[in-house]
Chains A and B, each alone.
Chain A
Amino acid sequence: QQKVQQSPESLSVPEGGMASLNCTSSDRNFQYFWWYRQHSGEGPKALMSIFSDGDKKEGRFTAHLNKASLHVSLHIRDSQPSDSALYFCAAPSSNYNVLYFGSGTKLTVEP
């Protein structure tokens, strides 16, 4: 069983809309989470990390973490066609050297 589960598998939003991606963990030892983005034909690239409960905002991207429920979400406001990509949630192992990735959410932003 994967340690990190993501939903939905795919998501379509109109240009300018809000995209919301979800991630839950089965391991209460996870101390923080990463969000990565992968455009077609490229390697994944880190978007942001979140360590503390609550919101963390970077531009149009906001991550929200609730450690009690082991849930982290990513919200993209004013979505652009260039945001169309595969988004991964990831959490580190106890020694912080290994990342466990979810299976990803495919986001399509329609012009």
Chain B
Amino acid sequence: EAAVTQSPRNKVAVTGGKVTLSCNQTNNHNNMYWYRQDTGHGLRLIHYSYGAGSTEKGDIPDGYKASRPSQENFSLILELATPSQTSVYFCASGGDRVEQYFGPGTRLTVL
């Protein structure tokens, strides 16, 4: 079965600090995605990538950067974390016109 892993699973950060969330997929999918999930908002797309070296802005990219150094890895970077970025973050991978496979999520708390 398709596999997407995320690290860390839980993270507590301080306001103004830098946070990096990592994602790895073994599905050989071209596309990878970062979402955040907040009650009442469902899943909102932050950044996505079509392949190694590419990143695209999603619906809510402000305050976030992304990096896709290889087919397998996709990182989400918060350069200056703020309490409003406290959320659950999901990474997903998918091919064209097929389902997306999600990781288990990272719970981030910014104090």
Question: Residues of A with Cβ closer than 8 Å to B?
Answer: 2, 6, 34, 42-46, 49, 88, 92, 96-104
Question: Residues of B with Cβ closer than 8 Å to A?
Answer: 4, 31, 33, 35, 40-45, 48, 50, 58, 90, 92, 94, 96-97, 99-105
| Chain B residues within 8 Å of A43, by CB | 4, 90, 92, 102-105
Residue contacts A-B, CB under 8 angstroms, 23 given: A6-B42, A34-B99, A43-B4, A43-B102, A43-B105, A44-B43, A46-B100, A49-B99, A88-B42, A88-B43, A96-B97, A97-B48, A97-B50, A97-B94, A98-B33, A98-B45, A98-B58, A99-B45, A100-B45, A101-B43, A101-B44, A103-B41, A103-B42
Q: Distance in Å from the Cβ of A17 to the closest Cβ of chain B?
A: 25
Chain B interface, DSSP helix/strand/loop, else mixed: strand
Q: Distance in Å from the Cβ of B94 to the closest Cβ of chain A?
A: 8
Cross-chain pair count, CB within 8 angstroms:
46
Q: Distance in Å from the Cβ of A29 to the closest Cβ of chain B?
A: 15
The 5 closest A-B pairs by CB, nearest first: A43-B102, A46-B99, A103-B42, A101-B43, A96-B97
| Chain A residues within 8 Å of B41, by CB | 103
Assess whether B96 is in contact with A44, with CB atoms less than 8 Å apart: no
Q: Distance in Å from the Cβ of B111 to the closest Cβ of chain A?
A: 22
Contact among B31, B35, B42, B104 for A97, CB-based, below 8 A: B31
User: Nearest chain-B residue to A47 (Cβ)?
Assistant: B99
The CA of A58 and the CA of B44, in the complex, are separated in Å by: 28
Q: Distance in Å from the Cβ of B63 to the closest Cβ of chain A?
A: 20
Assess whether B45 is in contact with A96, with CB atoms less than 8 Å apart: no
Assess whether B90 is in contact with A44, with CB atoms less than 8 Å apart: yes
